[in-house]
A and B are shown apart, each in its own frame.
Chain A
Amino acid sequence: MNSMQRIMATLQGKPADRRAVSLTLPLYGARLTGCDLSEYYTNPAAYARGQSAVLATFQPDILFGPFSLPLEGAAFGSHVRFFENQPPNLEHPAISSVSEIGQLIVPDVDSHPGLAYFREAIRLMVSEHGHTVPVASVALSPIDLPAMILGIEGWLQTLLFDEAGAKRMLELTIPHFVRWMNALFSEGAMFAVLPAGFANPSIVTREIAAEITVPAMREALSEVTFPIFIHSAGSPLARFLDSFAGLPNVAGFVLNGGDSFAEAREKVGPEPILVGNIDGPSLFTQKREGVRADCLAALRDRRDDPRFVLGTCGSDIGFDTPRENIDIFREAAEAFAKGGSVQRQ
């Protein structure tokens, strides 16, 4: 089986030759090609070269488009800063208060150069590898995009104390999100991975989730035409999955480190794919044997679950992570599929 066949089988709940493996390696491609990050996160060809190197080196079953959510905020006028060893980050939000919303210029998904970077990177990756490996885009949900426009504190404050302002902001981000998803789909992305931090009751109150952000997600997702994976974004997700029940077009969830697969499965039912849940950013601090043990534990846990993908969670696998700590995911999945000594460990 190739990666596309493996992922398709998992989506359909059918047997595969081994578990699919999802590794958050957008950043790591720059390390493999030695590309300066300010080039990597602005030049789609440089990004696509990095992902070709990722595929050649680690053979993950999914390739990801650029994973830099602040760059989406930059398309609205926020300022980002580039670093030597991590993705760009938000330096100054475009506006400091929702009262300044009238100053915002919503970027045209077909012509804005900052968004063209994402689209072109996806197009190049799909063109080169899309026949055998699914390419996924990583994007901001309409409820998290405001945090990249207003800043995290500004958006939290708006949700808490200015319901009308929050609704005004969502009236702007939901249509943009739908246009953006459809644009990425048109470039060949097979699905999108969305952090949904502001629908997570560990971030916002259950009331805000129930009354504002989850309904906004429902409205937005009902208009997209391809599968969505909800990402835990570094927050516990499994015990809050009831909050996400019934969202349309959701194909699966990327669980957080420490989340219980069994609890997640109980809450979402048999259909959605569960991905996870080994913390990617801290892999560089681990020993290879420790990572291997974690992989095998997850594989054993989900032995009888047809819709499971072994993978990393959190943000990018760090720049300084030893290659052997990344290789071990696929090796563990292969060994587990063959059974024998590894499976019994």
Chain B
Amino acid sequence: MVTGLKHELLQRMLAGDRKSATELVEGWANVHGYDRAVREILMPTLELFGKKWATSEDLSLAQGYIAGKVAEDVMERATSAQTSWPSARESKGPVVIGNIEDDCHSLGRKLVAIFLRTAGWQVYDLGNDVLPVEFVGKAVEVGAPVVAASAMMYTTAMNIKKLREEIDRRGLTGKMQLAVGGAVFVQRPTLVKEVGGDGTGRNAIGALKLMTRLRDRAISEEGAR
């Protein structure tokens, strides 16, 4: 039954039917609770969506946006239902995100924030045009093992080098991982290394696995010292 429900949810997301997709999850949550609905229905469906998004040439940015809105709607209803999500058991810890200095293209970053929150991350979204010292300062303050910088253009992507330098200058190399994202990194994957990134995701949902991998790597680096 759950498999069929996930398939149906995926179809509704792909069809762009935000309302009925949200209602489908809501109906299941009314019986089983939002905690399980997010963990067993929404998140696995988003992962399926993300795989399709990464491989299908026919999926649009608009459909990705709708998937994000469905996730956001479900999380709002979970909050209204006074479900604490993520529970302590499910919390994946803090992460700091933002558009790098001079970059004002916020759509991708906002989608990443929605998907990360839905997955149980405690997201500190610093917004557009964020300076390297602000990224690192906030990450140190909240104990985030990953900072994620978004850029849409080549010119602004190059500013991520300054964030790499700031992380290294403060002796946080390895212990603070640098995720990078944005259209320009999809077009030119080698740019990730050029700007000093530790990894990237192919789309906003791909950021979920990336953050987990980088967080685990940061913890491993910390433990190795």
Chain A interface residues (CB < 8 Å from chain B): 81, 83, 85-86, 89-91, 152-153, 156-157, 159-161, 201-208, 234, 236, 239, 257, 279, 281-282, 284-285, 315, 318-319
Of all chain A residues, the one with the shortest Cβ separation from B61 is: A203
**B65 cross-chain contacts in A, Cβ below 8 A:** 153, 156-157, 160
Cα distance A156–B64 when bound, in Å? 11
Pick the 5 closest A-B CB pairs, nearest first.
A86-B155, A281-B154, A204-B62, A153-B107, A203-B61
17 contacts between A and B (CB under 8 A): A81-B104, A83-B102, A86-B155, A90-B104, A153-B107, A156-B65, A159-B62, A160-B16, A160-B65, A201-B58, A204-B60, A204-B62, A205-B62, A207-B16, A208-B62, A285-B154, A318-B154
B156 interfacial contact with A, CB 8 Å: yes
Question: Whole-angstrom distance between the alpha carbons of A156 and B156 in the complex?
Answer: 23
* CB 8 Å contact bits of B2-19 with A (1 = contact, 0 = none): 000000000000001010
- Is B48 in the interface zone, CB < 8 Å from A? no
Complex: A94 Cα to B18 Cα, angstroms: 27
CB of B62 within 8 A of CB of A156, answer: yes
Pair A203/B62 contact, Cβ less than 8 Å: yes
Q: For A239, what are the chain B residues with a Cβ–Cβ distance below 8 Å?
A: 57
Question: B170: CB under 8 A from chain A?
Answer: no
- Chain B interface mostly helix, strand, loop or mixed? helix
The listed residue (B62, B104, B184) touching A160 by CB distance below 8 A is B62
Total interface residues on B, CB under 8 Å, equals: 26
A-side contacts of B58, CB under 8 Å: 201
A83 closest partner in B (C-beta): B102
From residue 84 to 116 of chain B, which have CB atoms closer than 8 A to chain A?
Answer: 102, 104-107, 110
Q: Is the CB of B54 closer than 8 A to any CB of chain A?
A: no
Instruction: Please tell me if the beta carbons of B60 and A91 are within 8 angstroms of each other in the complex.
Output: no
* A161 surroundings in chain B (CB, below 8 A): 18
Least CB distance from A110 to B in Å reads: 30
A205-B16, A279-B187 given as contacts; is B105 within 8 A of A152 (CB)?
A: yes
- Compute how far the CA of A20 lies from the CA of B198 in the bound complex, rounded to whole angstroms: 42
**Shortest CB distance A156–B (Å):** 6
Q: In the bound complex, what is the Cα–Cα distance between A26 and B62 (angstroms)?
A: 30
Candidates B104, B105, B194; contact of A285 at CB < 8 Å? B194
